[in-house]
Structure 1
């Protein structure tokens, strides 16, 4: 929490320093924007090929081939979900919420992309439709679908409450991934990562800068739709906080299931190609090893 009063006096030019204009850290003008018109046109004649029900206070994994679409749908009542994404053939490549936030902002909507971790750094999925895009930012600075929170987890819960709770989103995603891959919980837990908080309404308080949540505006029938840029393994947890209007990491909130629907288009979007992994060569400033000098006597 911020101190009510600073330990140090303001310098004489304090107001001038505060009025310096901000600079966007990562201007995205050089990024080629997604061709949403082509993506949307590819929906024509698409076919639903799979669906997965995610039970309350639990998680499920699902596969989405590159060039396909998937939707996360509210089906019974207001419910938020924590989304993890991995490259289907290599779970070391995973969704990078921090870089996605740096590129697109604190909350995502139509046209934003979910980027993968270093050293891969490429688009994993593009948001192609968002039925909650009407919400915008409210008077508290809250908005929907954030990449500022992490995921509720049993370690933080233990730290703050002194008690164990086993159905936080981190634990739910760990169980789901272990079951999907047939591996022990401890082996897959490091691959569970910071999430896209689907349908969650969040922001930062203006006085203390603390992360807050409030009742999600999501209602049955609302959905967030994605286009899979690469072959994806997804994991979705139906958060124990329900609509996150009161608390999470407990059994007190009313919770509902979530639906994942996967659609295969008749043809990929016009001109679309699955993005390759990032082209950086990986030298990190280290000089290449010197080659042995040729022996003049040879």
Structure 2
């Protein structure tokens, strides 16, 4: 594989970039137990975005891993997961936001959030806050209990754990190093990203 681009995403920040069809996106957890929020949009039609509902529906599971396809809201394949060293991710929770911290945590002051970081880093590509879909929350360890309650536990990722995804169309991609301490076993850490072909 030829390295095309490499990014280091500091804790509680994000990035936005273009990803071409056929290229491989590798998201790495360098320190372990750190979630990365992933969203994507079509380069041709920005109203086509990564869809939690379509991806879960067509895969018939909420636990998407190696071999599964991630679909758009128009049922277009956007990514194929080609390698996954963790096997447990979340596609149910929205990106954390200032409203989430206020409603669930009672935090009235400023707190960094994935929603803010996605909007900030995707705005140069014409993506607005109202367009941000439910992210594919890489490494997030969420389980649905028999009662329907969703329990969040520390990520299963260890230092160097990664997920490789192949772009099936030309994409605009946003990735964050999640800002919610509770999802990352108490501390927010960086995420590394590589693009290869």
Q: Deviations for 1:48-68, whole angstroms, at most 9, x for unmatched residues?
A: 110111111111012211011
2: CA distance, partners of 1:243 / 1:228: 30
Distance 2:159 2:22 in 1: 27
Secondary structure of the residue aligned to 2:89 is strand
Answering whether residue 150 of structure 2 is matched by residue 211 of structure 1, we say: yes
1:112 has 2:68 as partner:
yes
Which consecutive unaligned segments of at least 5 residues does structure 2 have? none
Inter-CA distance 81–243: structure 2 relative to 1 (3 Å threshold): farther
Tell me the equivalent position of 1:121: 75
SS at match of 1:92: coil
The DSSP-based 3-state class of the residue aligned with 1:213 is strand
Aligned to 1:92: 47
Aligned length: 195
- Say yes or no: does 1:151 pair with 2:95: yes
Matched, 1:76 2:31: yes
User: In the superposition, relative to structure 1, how do residues 210 and 194 fare at CA in structure 2: closer, same or farther (>3 Å)?
Assistant: same
Deviation at 1:217, TM superposition (A): 1.3
Unpaired segments ≥5 residues, structure 1 = 1-45, 134-143, 247-252, 265-298
- Cα contact 1:78–1:242 (8 A) shared by 2: no
How far does residue 122 in structure 1 lie from its aligned partner after superposition? 0.8
1:103 CA drift (Å): 1.7
In the alignment, what sits opposite 2:117? Answer: 172
Matched, 1:102 2:57: yes
Aligned counterparts, 1:204-283, within 5 A:
204-207=144-147, 209-242=148-181, 244=183, 253-264=186-197
Say which one has the larger Rg: 1
Between the two structures, name the one with larger relative contact order (CA 8 Å, sep ≥ 6): 2
Distance 2:109 2:19 in 1: 34
Kindly state the Cα deviation for residue 192 of structure 1 after the two structures are TM-superposed: 1.2
Q: 2 CA distance for matches of 1:128 and 1:63?
A: 19
Q: Which residue of 1 aligns with 2:3?
A: 48
- Tell me how far 1:168 sits from its aligned partner: 1.6
Partner of 2:139: 199
- Cα deviation for residue 162 of structure 1 reads 5.8
TM-score computed with the length of structure 1 as normaliser: 0.62
Call closer, same or farther: CA 1:162–1:129 in 2, change over 3 Å: closer
Shift of residue 89 of structure 1?
3.0
Q: TM-score, normalised by structure 2?
A: 0.91
How large is the Cα RMSD of the aligned pairs? 1.8
